[in-house]
Structure 1
Amino acid sequence: MIHKKLIQASCLGLTLLAAQVLAAVPAAQIARLDNDLTPIGAERAGNADGSIPAWTGGIGNDAGQRDTDGFLSDPFADDKPLFIITADNVAQHQERLTPGQLALFKRYPETYRIPVYQTRRSVSLPQSYLDATRQNAVDTTLAEGGNGLINYRSGGLPFAIPQSGLEVIWNHMGRYRGLSFQRQVVQASPQTSGAYTPSVIRQQLAYPAGLSDYSPQEMANILYYYREEFLSPARLAGGVLLVHETINQVKEPRMAWQYNAGQRRVRRAPQIAYDSPGAEGMRTIDDLDLFNGSPDRFDWLLVGKKEIYIPYNSYKLGSPTLKYADIIKPGHINPEHTRYELHRVWHISATLKEGERHVYSRRDLFIDEDSWQAAQADAYDGRGQLWRVSEGHSTFFYDQLSPQYNAETHYDVLSGRYAVNALYNEEKQAYRFDQSFNRKQFTPSALRASGIR
C-alpha cells in the first residue's frame, strides 16, 4: 500500500512538472491579466504624459447604431485632429513614426500626411474569447521550430504574455475577428495616374468554434477556413479560392484549392502561400492581413514595445458617404479620410533564414497591443532596401466586439504604385456576422457548385 502511494505521488509530481514545462508563462505572470494587464495582455495603464489613456474596458455594443444598409455610426464623429503631420513638420514627430511612414513622406511630400486624433482605446472582446485566452496562456506552447501551436484552444489568443517574436506573430494570426463572418469588399491596384479597375470579392472566414458542425477532434489542427469568390470584373468573375489554414504547420502545411470558372476545374494551389504575387503584383500572398501563413522562412525577433501613430478607429474611412473614387488617389489613398492615433505596439522584425527563399529579406511588423491586429508593416528587398509599406486601417465593430480592417494598403515606394483592399463604402450589408457555416461549405467539391460561368 505504501509502495503504491509512493508511485501515485511520483506520478502526480511528474504530471505537475510536465504542466509547468508546458505552461507558456508562470502562474504569477498569468495573474497579471487581472491586474496590470488587460485580459489579452495589453498594458492597462496609460503612458507617462497621458497621451495614451488607461484601458477601461473599451466601448460597448451600444456605442452607436447600425443603419439599414449595415453601416455603423461613428462613435467619435465629433473628434477633430489634434495636429496633422506633413513633410514640413515630420522631423518633429519621427520618433513616433515607422521607417515606412517616413518613406511615404519622402516619396509623396506634397500629398501624404497623417492626421493625428485623440487616442481612443475602444477594443473590448467577448468573454468566451477571454476565457479561452486565459486557458491558452497556461497550456499553449510553440511547436518545434515555432511553426505551429500545441495545446491551443480555438477561439482564444495563443499567448497573452508573449515571450518571443514568434509568439507575437501567432497572436496576430490568432486574434479575435469574430467566430465566423462573410464580407463583400473591393480591391484595386491603381496606376501611377490613379486609374484603377475595382474587383468586388466575397470573402468568408470561419474558425472551427464558429461552425455548426464543429468537432474538436476532427478539426484539432485547423486554425480557420477561408474562401473568396471574385464577383467582378468579368475576366475574374467566378474564380474561387479555398484555404484550410492549419495550426501546426510542421505537421500539416496550409492546404489551398482554386476553381477556374473558364475551365470549370478545381485544382490544388500550392502557390497560394509565401511570396507568390497578388493584387497585380503589388503585394505577396503573405502580405494580405499584413501577414498570414506559415512563419517558417523567417527568424522572428521581438524588438520590444514602442509608441507610434497608427491608423485606428477608421470609421470615417469606411463611411457610406464616400465613393471609392474619393478614397483611391494617385500614389496613396486620400489622407483627408484617414485617422491616426498614438498607441503602444509590439515591434517584431523577421529576417529571412539562410537557405530559404522569399522576395523579402526582412519585414518589420508593428502590432496593436489592444487588438493584436497588425497596424504597420515594412518589407525590404534582397538588397536590404525598403520596398513596400503596408498599413491596416482598423475599425472596431462594436456591435460584434470585433476588430476589423476597413482598408488595407500596400505601397511600393520604389515604383509609386499601391494596392488597396477591404474597402466596402459602396457595398450594402458588406459585413455579415449572422451567417451559419458548416464544414461542407469549405470543401473542394463545394467550389464547383459556386462557379457562375
Structure 2
Amino acid sequence: MRHPVAQAALLALLALAGGPATHAATDAQAQALGKDLTPLGGEKAANKDGSIPAWTGGDTKAPPGWKPGQARPDPYASDKPLFTIDASNADKYKDKLSDGQLALLKGKKDYRMEVYPTRRTCGYPEAVYTNTRKNATTAKLAANGYDLEKAVSGGIPFPIPANGAEAMWNYKLRWLGEGRIERYSTVFSQPGDGKFVPLVQDQWTVTPGGDLGGKPIPDGEGAEYKLLNEVVAPAARTGELILVHYFLAKDNDAWLYFPGQRRVRRAPTFSYDNPVPGYENLLAVDQYPMFGGRLDRYDWKLVGKQELVVPYNTFRFNDQGKKLADIFGPEYPKRDLIRYEAHRVWKIEATVKAGQRHQFPKRTIYLDEDSWMMVAADIYDAQGKVWRVQESYPYVAWELPACVYQGYTVYDLNVGRYMADNMPQEGKTDWLAGREGRIDANKFNPDELRRAGAR
C-alpha cells in the first residue's frame, strides 16, 4: 500500500523528483530531523493501523554476554509469525509486495514468506546523526544530476531527499563503520538436484565515507570504497585474488591475480552490466552488493513511500553455526529461516537514459526508511518482465552499532537459478568501527596484490 509521507516538507520535495539536480534542505526542513523524523529522515510515527510501530531509537544493545567476533544470537527467537504469504493468498497482500516478490510466490512451488511483528531496531551512534544534520543543509549533487559534489563523511548526505539520485547516495554512503574483515560463502544453485559447490572468500573492505570525523566527501582520491577478495575454496580456485576500487565520480578500477599465471592483470572493464568473474553469469558488477557503482546510466525517479514486506532482523538466517546445506535448497533458501516484517520503504524507479546502454533497462529499488539499506530490488528485461529479483538480509551489528547486511540473494527467473552471496555460514565476520590498526590501508593496491599472490 502506498504510504503518504507525513511531513508537508517532504511532500513538497517529492514534487521536485524530476526537477533540478542540486538540492539542500532548508534550515526549517532540517529541524524535523530527530523530531517528527528520525535522525536519518524516516518517519518516527507508527503507520495508521499500528502494524509498523513508532521508532523509539532502535534496539542497539547487545544481548548479555555477547562479544564482537562471536556468533550472533537471535534476540527475537521467541517471536511467532503473524501470518504466511504464499501463492494461495499472494493477491490479498499484493499492495505490500514488489513485482519480483509476487513472481517468486506464484512461480516457485511452495515458496512462502513468514511475516513477523515489525521491530524498528535500527539505530546509530550520535556522531552519525550529527554528520547527517550537517549534510541536510549543505550536501548537494553536481550539475550533471548524479555525482555527489559536496557532503561530509560519517552520515547520510540527503536525509530529506528531493529525487532518486539523492536517495541512492543515501544508500551508497549509509554508515557501516570504516571497514570490515569477513569470510563468506557464495552459493550457486543447480535446479533439480539441490547440489552446489560454494565459493568461499576472505574479504577486506575499507570505507572512507565511514569516518565519523565528518571529513569532506569527495576526498582527494575520490574513493567510495575498496575491497580485496581472496578465494579459499574450492581447491581449484584457491589463491585467486581480486582488488576493486569503487569511485565516487569515475568508473571502477579492478585487478585480478590467478595463481596459475602468477601475475596481476588489470580488468579491462569492471562496471555496470559486465558479469562478475567466476559468478556463473548470475551477477552483474553493478548488482554487488544489491547495487554498486556509478549512477550515470539511469534516470532515478523517487516514487515515494510504500509499505513493503521485506527481510528484517534476520539473525536466524545469518546464523554462523549452521551449515550451508541447512540453509540452501535447489530453488531457494529454506523458507522457515527468513524473517519478514512490514516496513516503510522509499521506492525508486531507475530507467536507462536515452542514448545509454545497459542490459537491465529498468530497475525498481526499495530502501528502508530507518537505515537506507537496499532491502529489495526488481530488475526488468527489455519486454518489461521481471528478470532478476534481489533481497538482502539486514540485522543489527551491535558492535557498531548499525543496521547492516552481508548476505543477499539474486534470483534469475529466465534461467531458473539463484545465487546467495556474502553468506556467513561456515565462515566468520568482524565488523569494525574505526578501530585503527585492524585493516592496513596499504593492502588495497596492485603491488600488494602481487606480494599477496607470491606468498
Same fold (TM over 0.5): yes
- How far apart are the structure 1 equivalents of 2:157 and 2:221? 14
- How far apart are the structure 2 equivalents of 1:327 and 1:285? 25
Whether contact under 8 Å (1:64, 1:73) holds in the other structure is no
Partner of residue 16, structure 1: none
Partner of residue 319, structure 1: 319
AA aligned to 1:101 is: Q
Deviation at 1:225, TM superposition (A): 1.7
Deviation at 1:124, TM superposition (A): 0.5
Identify unmatched segments of 5+ residues in structure 1: 1-20
- 1:57-95 alpha-carbon deviations (Å, 9 max, x no partner): 001333454369621111111101011111111121111
Partner of residue 449, structure 1: 451
Partner of residue 264, structure 1: 262
1:255 aligns with 2:253: yes
Query: In the TM superposition, what are the counterparts of 1:206-225 in structure 2 within 5 Å?
Result: 206-208=206-208, 219=220, 221-225=222-226
Partner of residue 177, structure 2: 178
- How far apart are the structure 2 equivalents of 1:141 and 1:67? 39
Residues 376 and 64 of structure 1, relative CA distance in 2, 3 Å threshold:
farther
Aligned partner of residue 144 in structure 1, secondary structure: coil
Greater CA drift, 69-78 or 157-166: 69-78
Residues 288 and 68 of structure 1, relative CA distance in 2, 3 Å threshold:
closer
Aligned partner of residue 33 in structure 2, secondary structure: helix
Whether contact under 8 Å (2:198, 2:234) holds in the other structure is yes
AA aligned to 1:284 is: A
Q: 1:440 aligns with which of 439, 442, 454?
A: 442
AA aligned to 2:99 is: P
Identify unmatched segments of 5+ residues in structure 2: 1-20
Residues 40 and 210 of structure 1, relative CA distance in 2, 3 Å threshold:
closer
Aligned partner of residue 451 in structure 1, secondary structure: helix
- How far apart are the structure 2 equivalents of 1:436 and 1:405? 21
Residues 23 and 389 of structure 1, relative CA distance in 2, 3 Å threshold:
closer
Residues 102 and 269 of structure 1, relative CA distance in 2, 3 Å threshold:
same
- How far apart are the structure 2 equivalents of 1:45 and 1:268? 50
Aligned partner of residue 32 in structure 2, secondary structure: helix
- How far apart are the structure 1 equivalents of 2:40 and 2:50? 22
Partner of residue 134, structure 2: 135
Deviation at 1:353, TM superposition (A): 1.3
Aligned partner of residue 325 in structure 2, secondary structure: helix
Structure whose CA Rg is larger: 1
- How far apart are the structure 2 equivalents of 1:30 and 1:299? 26
Deviation at 1:219, TM superposition (A): 3.6
Aligned partner of residue 292 in structure 1, secondary structure: coil
Aligned partner of residue 376 in structure 1, secondary structure: strand
Residues 22 and 384 of structure 1, relative CA distance in 2, 3 Å threshold:
closer
AA aligned to 1:290 is: M
AA aligned to 1:160 is: P
Aligned length: 427
Greater CA drift, 233-242 or 346-355: 233-242
Deviation at 1:245, TM superposition (A): 1.9
AA aligned to 1:441 is: K
Aligned partner of residue 450 in structure 1, secondary structure: helix
AA aligned to 1:303 is: V
Deviation at 1:296, TM superposition (A): 0.7
Whether contact under 8 Å (1:318, 1:425) holds in the other structure is yes
- How far apart are the structure 1 equivalents of 2:157 and 2:380? 28
- How far apart are the structure 1 equivalents of 2:438 and 2:321? 30
- How far apart are the structure 1 equivalents of 2:29 and 2:210? 30
Residues 65 and 393 of structure 1, relative CA distance in 2, 3 Å threshold:
farther
- How far apart are the structure 2 equivalents of 1:58 and 1:199? 35
AA aligned to 2:135 is: N
